[in-house]
Chains A and B, each alone.
Chain A
Amino acid sequence: MAQLFHRSANSISKISLAGAVLAAGGLIAFAYTMDRGHYITDVAVVKEQPVPFSHKHHVGDDGIDCRYCHTSVETSSFAGIPATEICMSCHSQIWSNAEILEPVRASYRTGESLQWTRIHDLPDFVYFNHSIHINKGVGCATCHGRVDQMPLMYKENTLYMNWCINCHRNPEKYVRPRDQVFNMAYEAPSNQEELGRKLVQENHIQSLTDCYTCHR
């Protein structure tokens, strides 16, 4: 009986086997990269906003405190997005004719809200509370990055659960003195571990890793 397969079939089968393994690996690698990549996580992705608001200018250059606009960050779960009125408290005086600010003035005139695109968007089954993090000494920049250096707002971290858990397991690695929370330029000292442990003691910071801490 003549050979059914040509000799080259051996090579083809070897290559296909290796190829299948590689493809599977590649697929996993692809999925992983996608999942962690900017396309899915939106990390460092700038989104279109009604007004190209610059935190760099307002925080970095002008030195406006976070709480001037994000008024409820110390008291509520939601940090608060400033009402048009807050924008206008300055911009009725300065840059009052700038074309770029027309949507803000229009909103103030018509009473229609500005619609900002959410940058830090947690899934709906996660219940995050700003106020307790602020009160326990988690700096704004710890999660949001150096906002004072961002001309346009973007996400610094993935906000994935493993990222949250990192700090929830070991708060002493990240917490800072309470008076440094709003300091964008704060840098962790070399003895962070030691200081962190002290802060954990003093401010009664807990390592909360129960599911119900965030999910309910």
Chain B
Amino acid sequence: MNENPALDLAKIRARLESAQGPLYWKSLEELAETKEFQAYVDDELADRTPNWLDADHRRNFLKLAAASLAFAGITACTKQPKEVIVPYVRQPEEFVPGIPLYFATAMQMGGVGTGLVVTSHLGRPTKIEGNPDHPGSMGASDYFHQASILTMYDPDRAQVVTKQGYIDSWIGFQAAVASRREAATINGAGLRILTETVTSPTLTAGINAILKDLPGSKWHQYEVGGRHGAYKGAMLAFGRPVNTIYDFSQADVVVSIDADFLACGPGNLRHARQFADKRRVQSNVTHTPQPKEDWQEGYQEGSIPARTNQSAQYMADNQGPVVLPAQVQAEGKPPSETVLNRLYVVEPSPSPTASMADHHFVLQASEIETWAWDLAAAIGAGGQSSGKYKEVAAIAKDLQAHKGTCLVVAGDYQTPAVHALAHAMNAALGNVGKTVTYTDSIEGNPTDQQDSLRQLVADMNAGKVETLVILGGNPVYSAPADLNFAGALKKVYWKAYLGLYADETARQCVWAVPEAHYLESWGDVRGFDGTVSFVQPLIAPLYGGKTALEVIATLSGQPDKSDHDLVQAYWQSQTKAGNFDIFWQQALHDGIVPNTALPAVNVTAKMPPASQPKSAQGLEIIFRPDPTIWDGSFANNGWLQELPKPQNKMTWDNAVWISPTTAQQKNLNIGDVVELKYQGRTVTGPIWIQPGHANNSATVHLGFGRTFAGHVGDEVGFNAYLLRSSSAPWNDYGLDLNKVSGKHEFATTQHTQTMEEGEPIRIATLDEYKKTPQWVDQKEDDKPLPEKLTLYPDYRYQGYKWGMTIDLNSCVGCGSCMMACQSENNIAVVGKIEVTRGRHMNWLRVDRYFKGNWDNPELYYQPVPCMQCENAPCELVCPVAATVHSGEGINQMVYNRCVGTRYCSNNCPYKVRRFNFFLYSDWGTPSLYGLRNPNVTVRSRGVMEKCTYCIQRINAVKIESEKENRRIKDGEITPACAQACPTQAIVFGDINDPKSRVAQLKAQARNYSLLEDLNVRPRTTYLGRLRNPNPEIGNA
């Protein structure tokens, strides 16, 4: 929206409290029902009036108009340009142009590795998927994995070794290192190495060798998103840094204490899958009446589909008799036997995990420790109850009824005491060894990272550090502000930095070495359970980058060793395998090293000593890594910058999140600029009012306000690191918040693409579902659609009939699907200004709805791709037939025919079509050519585009099946969104095959379509959401 309208919060509150309010709401603006807002939503695209008064704009417009005329003229008259074919001189084995290869590798975040499978087209990686064999991935991937490929091709990456900012060379660096080694040996001061969390066995061994080799050397670790609380909590409970592994597949009751375990942290993809498996409902009640588009037609066991777009007569002549439609019978258990797990969440700021909560409690971050004490006391794990929180009694009862099959999870940003309490509670509930197991730490050198950094800074200030080597991270930007890392760094004589970018830290160091991206490096990394995966390169370093392993080898006097040799040498010394080559090849192929998961250890949890909760004084400030750009390391990644944050659909910004009640008290509105004052440090940032946020509390996200991130990430948002202190990294009281002049404009996508659907999400409690399994159809004023609404005969989809279901009972709203779609389909980034105009290009969006009051609303997510309507309204209005229907029921969009009238988008009730108003695809940056999926057209300006059900994947499988003269098997085709989905909420397949998963799901009683009454007959349908609230708590 151009101007954030002033919200009348009092009016909104009254509206929410009165029963007339809408059941589902997207935002406070929607509830305010202002005229400006309605106009904004009514118009498909906001701000369509060009700004004629702006001289720049007018000139640009004229230039563009002239250019498009000229180009249109030229393209019409030109010959095809000359193109060359460049064959190999010696074609490598297995390399077949046109057939991609797949390689297993692993990406680490916060030190924890996730196994991936990367698609490579003639030596250039193009797409990242999860590795089904890796325990931390199970075939899924999150948006950081998906987007990391863009970082690799990022033209802004550091491209050359520099010394004092001048171009130097790797050889020069190695020579300098050699002299530093000598100096360190002579004066005995040794080296200081600062890394992020390290789990790589090879790197750990390398660093340990240096520590031994050069006395006086020290290894410091600091990771912004580091799990300090978990580390210290384990020390508190067990006296040693153990690694906690959860098994949600056995957990019937889960309590999350500020843990976003479904979307973040080690093992999140596995957790999401296991959690969703406990919510999968398949009943034997068939949907009645089953919509016609879900009927199965023309299917005969083992038959190859008929010519799809022929008349019934032709098929009768050539392919046997026409098979008439038949209804698919749902298979499964009776609804009365449905079992669901139950999730309680207590947190200060809504996370994607909250959307799955059956009971959601909102507390200030600092209050949560008290809540945990109360729960522990109620369970009988020990400790004193404050008696403040009544709900814990019912939760404790529920937990005790599920001893050994429940789970208490503490969040990474909670205090050590909360972690220790969670350990104690799990022990008291008999969960240890069942739903929770402990192993040794997966880290190479588990340390208290805050202490480690503090010590380093103290030593630097004391002049004790002569040589400092920083491997990754970006401490000058991201170290806690009270430590003044940049100031201390000035006192270090010789400092070198290995990083992907010439960032803030690189500019403060003498030597800066470009780092090789993980897709360019050899290495190894441990997964959440200790499983080792080899990192294998997909491409030689684009910019001559080096790995941490190579820098460490140089530091230890072995400058010639390559990362490949180092990893191999280490594992050769570690494995007893008879034939190392076979071991190595097998481990590279599978993406995991067998039997490297750490064994469970036997530990007994102690109750932590009674802790004094922080006394509430003033507002609370909460720091969190940003949902999409994390700690700032992805700041220059356009895909992630433009990915709407799950909670508020904001792009290209961070904000000060406060609750509506607090906003009302402080008379603040969305977009108001405030000055945040905390511990004498100040930062200004814009306000965002987030329903479901804790009162008297403000959340700021880290990672923004970068100065040397690159073209994309510089000067986006404000830098919350400037407030953060090492003593309270995640939350603290004592925030002063004052309104200053100015108004900030956000680019959020929460109102664009609005459907006129009153009940987009259909929800029932488990009991209601058992009583009426077909509740999704029982809308009050619902009349069944007439049997026949058209004069024309129905089209018979006698061949394949593609369809999709999205199970809202599994979807956690994490957004992996959006990013997977972006990567697979070459979707362009448009930039903040264009997003404010509603012109973002994502083919798949995840809508977020609130239900209930604003203090603690229920939170729901709904992915919306193209519905592939059978009676597609878009097709009727295209004057040039650029969008037409295929014989398999896909609504096709033909770019080369499209002239850009946008009638189709105007007529689309789901608003899933996206238009290239300008040349959004970057056609000019050579390094980005390699990124693109060669099987999808890179769109130009002036054409419409939309979800194709990943037609390139469908066609690839169809061609292979046709070569073998057989029908495509269920599960052979997976669209990018479904492949990335951690919970397998998205299922795609052939509806004509009555045994296919999608046909079975569509036959389910929970199946419903959006905007059913328009009779557009969408092929993408949803499965209604079930909740499993505790009757003793009521609906909270």
Chain A interface residues (CB < 8 Å from chain B):
39-40, 42, 47, 71-72, 75-78, 80-85, 107-108, 111-118, 121, 123-125, 127, 129, 131-132, 135-136, 197, 200-201, 203-204, 206-213, 215-216
**Are the C-beta atoms of B963 and A135 separated by less than 8 Å?**
yes
**Are the C-beta atoms of B83 and A118 separated by less than 8 Å?**
yes
**Are the C-beta atoms of A132 and B96 separated by less than 8 Å?**
no
**Are the C-beta atoms of A216 and B948 separated by less than 8 Å?**
yes
Q: Sorted from nearest, which 9 A-B pairs have the closest CB atoms?
A: A76-B98, A78-B98, A210-B886, A77-B98, A83-B91, A81-B87, A83-B88, A118-B83, A84-B89
**Are the C-beta atoms of A76 and B955 separated by less than 8 Å?**
no
CB-defined A-B contacts under 8 Å, sample of 29:
A72-B99, A75-B96, A78-B96, A78-B97, A80-B97, A83-B87, A83-B88, A111-B89, A114-B87, A115-B85, A116-B86, A116-B87, A117-B84, A121-B83, A123-B80, A123-B896, A127-B935, A127-B952, A132-B962, A135-B963, A201-B318, A203-B965, A210-B887, A211-B886, A211-B892, A211-B894, A212-B951, A215-B892, A215-B895
Q: Does B309 contact A (CB under 8 A)?
A: yes
Q: Which residues of B contact A81 (CB under 8 A)?
A: 85, 87
Q: Does B189 contact A (CB under 8 A)?
A: no
Whole-angstrom CA separation of A206 from B886 in the bound complex: 14
Q: Which residues of A contact B464 (CB under 8 A)?
A: none
Q: Which residues of A contact B308 (CB under 8 A)?
A: 206, 208, 210
- Using a CB-CB cutoff of 8 Å, which residues 307-321 of chain B contact chain A? 307-310, 318
Distance in Å: Cβ of B262 to nearest Cβ of chain A: 33
Distance in Å: Cβ of A69 to nearest Cβ of chain B: 10
Whole-angstrom CA separation of A71 from B93 in the bound complex: 12
Q: Does B483 contact A (CB under 8 A)?
A: no
**Are the C-beta atoms of B962 and A83 separated by less than 8 Å?**
no
Whole-angstrom CA separation of A78 from B84 in the bound complex: 14
**Are the C-beta atoms of A209 and B318 separated by less than 8 Å?**
no
When C-beta atoms are compared, the residue in chain A nearest to B948 turns out to be A216
Interface string of B653-689 (1 = CB under 8 A from A): 0000000000000000000000000000000000000
Q: Does B79 contact A (CB under 8 A)?
A: yes
Distance in Å: Cβ of B962 to nearest Cβ of chain A: 6
Interface string of B50-89 (1 = CB under 8 A from A): 0000000000000000000000000000011011111111
Q: Does B712 contact A (CB under 8 A)?
A: no
Assuming the A-B contacts A39-B79, A121-B80, A210-B886, are A107 and B89 also in contact, with contact meaning beta carbons closer than 8 angstroms in the complex?
yes
Whole-angstrom CA separation of A191 from B948 in the bound complex: 41
**Are the C-beta atoms of B98 and A204 separated by less than 8 Å?**
no
Q: Which residues of B contact A117 (CB under 8 A)?
A: 82-85
Assuming the A-B contacts A84-B87, A116-B85, A121-B83, are A212 and B962 also in contact, with contact meaning beta carbons closer than 8 angstroms in the complex?
no
Whole-angstrom CA separation of A85 from B88 in the bound complex: 8
Q: Does B611 contact A (CB under 8 A)?
A: no
Given A84-B88, A208-B308; 14 other pairs, CB 8 A cutoff: A76-B96, A78-B96, A80-B87, A81-B87, A114-B86, A115-B84, A117-B82, A118-B83, A121-B80, A127-B952, A136-B962, A210-B308, A212-B890, A212-B948
**Are the C-beta atoms of B99 and A75 separated by less than 8 Å?**
yes
Whole-angstrom CA separation of A40 from B79 in the bound complex: 6
Chain B interface category by residue count: 35 or more
**Are the C-beta atoms of A212 and B84 separated by less than 8 Å?**
no
Q: Which residues of A contact B952 (CB under 8 A)?
A: 127, 216
Assuming the A-B contacts A83-B90, A116-B87, A206-B308, are A216 and B963 also in contact, with contact meaning beta carbons closer than 8 angstroms in the complex?
no
- From A40, A113, A132, give the contact of B87 (CB < 8 A): A113
Q: Does B785 contact A (CB under 8 A)?
A: no
Distance in Å: Cβ of B935 to nearest Cβ of chain A: 7
Q: Which residues of A contact B96 (CB under 8 A)?
A: 71-72, 75-76, 78, 80
Q: Which residues of B contact A85 (CB under 8 A)?
A: 88-91
Whole-angstrom CA separation of A134 from B875 in the bound complex: 34
Q: Does B164 contact A (CB under 8 A)?
A: no
Whole-angstrom CA separation of A21 from B84 in the bound complex: 43
Whole-angstrom CA separation of A203 from B307 in the bound complex: 12
When C-beta atoms are compared, the residue in chain B nearest to A84 turns out to be B89
Q: Which residues of B contact A210 (CB under 8 A)?
A: 308-309, 886-888, 890, 892
**Are the C-beta atoms of A204 and B887 separated by less than 8 Å?**
no
Q: Which residues of A contact B82 (CB under 8 A)?
A: 47, 117-118
When C-beta atoms are compared, the residue in chain A nearest to B949 turns out to be A212
Whole-angstrom CA separation of A17 from B119 in the bound complex: 64
When C-beta atoms are compared, the residue in chain B nearest to A213 turns out to be B955
- Using a CB-CB cutoff of 8 Å, which residues 77-133 of chain B contact chain A? 79-80, 82-91, 96-99
Assuming the A-B contacts A207-B307, A209-B309, are A125 and B937 also in contact, with contact meaning beta carbons closer than 8 angstroms in the complex?
yes
Whole-angstrom CA separation of A212 from B954 in the bound complex: 10
Q: Which residues of A contact B935 (CB under 8 A)?
A: 127, 216
Q: Which residues of B contact A132 (CB under 8 A)?
A: 959, 962-963
Q: Which residues of B contact A111 (CB under 8 A)?
A: 89
- From B83, B84, B89, B892, give the contact of A108 (CB < 8 A): B89
Whole-angstrom CA separation of A201 from B99 in the bound complex: 29
Q: Does B1036 contact A (CB under 8 A)?
A: no
